Structure 1
Amino acid sequence: MRTLVRSDDLDETRAIISTAYSPYELRALENPQNFTAWYAEGSFPGVTLSGLSYGTETLVAPEPLTTYLLVCQVHTGRVRVVSPGREEQYVGPGDTYVLDPHRRFRVYWGAGARMTTIRLARETVDRAVGSELGREEPVRARFALGGAVSRAAAGTWQGISDAVHREIVTGGVARTSPLVAAQLTQATAAALVATHRMLPGGEPVRYTGNVAHPAVRRALRLIEESSDQPLTLSDLAAAARLSPRALQEAFRRYLDSTPLAYLREVRLERAHRDLVAADGEGPVTVAQVAYRWGFSNLGRFAEWYRRRYGHSPSRTLRT
């Protein structure tokens, strides 16, 4: 694995890990002058393994992960995981918990706590749930806190987790063999579904690509090709050959979003790309990039950007 953070700078840590995961709140709760952080990452196609530790009592509160989930295992120390208004769990060495992609969590790290996380795409796990239930289509996976359902299940998960660790840490063939990577990814998702606590009431879901609704694909094509143009909901509906209301319903069903929210995310991604590519000492400004991608209100642009990337657009431009 490659170390990406070894720092006593809280803002630097927040910026780097927000980019790796999702925007999140990071706060030293005790002795902030003693704050330290370590973060390392490695992967093969389909799975990302990360290691994290904080040197003082720390609060981590990420935005909902939406497109992926994390299986977290504590190795040293103790953490308290809270899903506001729903569940709370204390997790000690050897125990695991799953960060469901559809809700918020607050994770309180004890001083010196260390854990590893296995990251899987939501779509991969949804397909594993569908297979477990004997369904041809994916079924939305919803996980409870509380770790494995039994000691035997914990042992099964530990075995697949160890295999993932070996492949990544020792540079196994999964990093270079797409077939091995795909099989190990599917096995990891299947083991997760079979061993960890799930919430009832999963619903069939569909994804973009070959299985997406043709109308949604037509709207997505317009967004991808013309996101720098002043598109409206009516424009997207016309391209999709649906009424605006029907298009909104289709986006909610297939993408768990709305057409204009999806458009905004594409524009944010492209603005971020332009800011990263720009010379911080050159003539490009944040305002120019924002206006290019349709953000006429710079305050809202900065707020959305910070929420997604964990820091201001001007900081990206300067680095």
Structure 2
Amino acid sequence: MHAPAGEGSRMRTLVRSDDLDETREMISSAYSPYELRALSRPQDFSAWYAEGGFPGVTLSGLSYGTETLVAPEPLTTYLLVCQVHKGRVRVESPGREEQFVDTGDTYVLDPHRRFKVFWTAGSRMTTIRLPRDVVDRAAGEALGREEPVRARFALGGPVSAAAAESWSGISAAVHREVMAGGVAHDNPLIAAQLTQMTAATLMATHRLVPASEPVRYTGNVAHPAVRRAIQLIEERSDQPLTLSDLAAAARLSPRALQEAFQRYAGCTPLAYLREVRLDRAHRDLVAADADGPVTVAQIAYRWGFSNLGRFAHWYRKRYGHAPSVTLRS
């Protein structure tokens, strides 16, 4: 945000407090019941929360003055797209995902999952809240369905640099509309169109995941050739697979498969394969006994990573720390 919400804007400050219990009660009523805990220097706890919007979209601003844990119940009826404007947060979906989000980056809180969000002292973010029924309709349209689809999202931000630019554009439009008190406040047609455009842009720029799979990569796509290649990846990710193998399974040329993956999954086939392998290596590292005989190298080799330096680089980029940290935890 270019200016703090609630100061010279159409956003209204609802919480400005150094009382943790009061803050928990007030923000729980705005979102969903949630755990709120000061993780260090509780005497320095402070919170700020402001809100504004137009029919269909709510824009909120939040900050905490000390290191804080926020753990909401599943949101169920809406989802949040969160952008960090100051500081850094770590987001966990217990047993499933972990994401470090730095200043300027975004993440999506899936409405059907529990999350823990660890805030560094002084962090500030805004959230765009979208109704789940609007998002599910947009998901159905994006996946070529006539009916709404129960949209499930990975934690990660936009799927590419171009996608990030597109999301940044629609996010900025929502911020301007709320902060400046634009016509969407009083014009239901404009409000509905901007809400639908925001949901559609979310579909086009962020990764959907299948409802049955608690993983971070795209698995539910409309293109049958991409689905066939994904099925092979899911079934044989522990075996040597080449682009030619995947193209043969998809019944496309390698170039056509590359183009289809970029359009429907937001990445190349081999990048998708790598993400699946990283996810499965992560699961093995989490399950392994730190004092047992299993090593990081053995798990990396099991999932096709022959270069340990590259494996460590990709793993750190994905999970925010070295694979050895996961093994020891």
What's the TM-score bracket when you normalise by the shorter of the two chains? 0.5 to 0.7
| Aligned-partner Cα distance in 1 for 2:211–2:34 | 28
TM-score (norm 2): 0.61
Report the aligned-residue RMSD: 1.2
Residue 195 of structure 1 is matched in structure 2 by 205
Matched letter for residue 5 of structure 1: V
8 Å contact from structure 1 (residues 140, 202) kept in 2: no
| Aligned-partner Cα distance in 1 for 2:151–2:104 | 24
| Aligned-partner Cα distance in 1 for 2:69–2:211 | 31
| Aligned-partner Cα distance in 1 for 2:114–2:143 | 27
8 Å contact from structure 1 (residues 77, 113) kept in 2: yes
- Deviations, residues 155-204 of structure 1 (Å, cap 9, x unaligned): 1000000000011110000000000000000000000011012213589x
Counting matched residue pairs gives 203
1:184 maps to 2:194: yes
Matched letter for residue 191 of structure 2: A
Matched letter for residue 94 of structure 1: G
1:10 maps to 2:45: no
1:24 maps to 2:31: no
Residue 95 of structure 1 is matched in structure 2 by 105
Residue 147 of structure 2 is matched in structure 1 by 137
TM-score (norm 1): 0.63
8 Å contact from structure 1 (residues 142, 202) kept in 2: no
8 Å contact from structure 2 (residues 90, 101) kept in 1: yes
Shift of 1:19: 0.3
Higher RCO (CA < 8 A, seq sep 6+): 1
Question: What 5-or-longer segments of structure 1 have no aligned partner?
Answer: 204-319
Question: What 5-or-longer segments of structure 2 have no aligned partner?
Answer: 1-10, 214-329
Matched letter for residue 96 of structure 2: R
Among candidates 61, 66, 70, match of residue 60 of structure 1: 70
Matched letter for residue 34 of structure 2: Y
Matched letter for residue 209 of structure 2: L
Q: Name the SS of the counterpart of 1:197 in structure 2.
A: coil
Residue 69 of structure 1 is matched in structure 2 by 79
Residue 255 of structure 1 is matched in structure 2 by none
Shift of 1:45: 0.2
Residue 38 of structure 1 is matched in structure 2 by 48
Residue 305 of structure 1 is matched in structure 2 by none
| Aligned-partner Cα distance in 2 for 1:2–1:201 | 36
8 Å contact from structure 2 (residues 151, 211) kept in 1: no
Matched letter for residue 4 of structure 1: L
Q: Name the SS of the counterpart of 2:75 in structure 1.
A: coil
- Once the two structures are aligned, what percentage of the paired residues are identical? 79
8 Å contact from structure 1 (residues 141, 202) kept in 2: no
Where do 1:282-293 residues align within 5 Å?
none
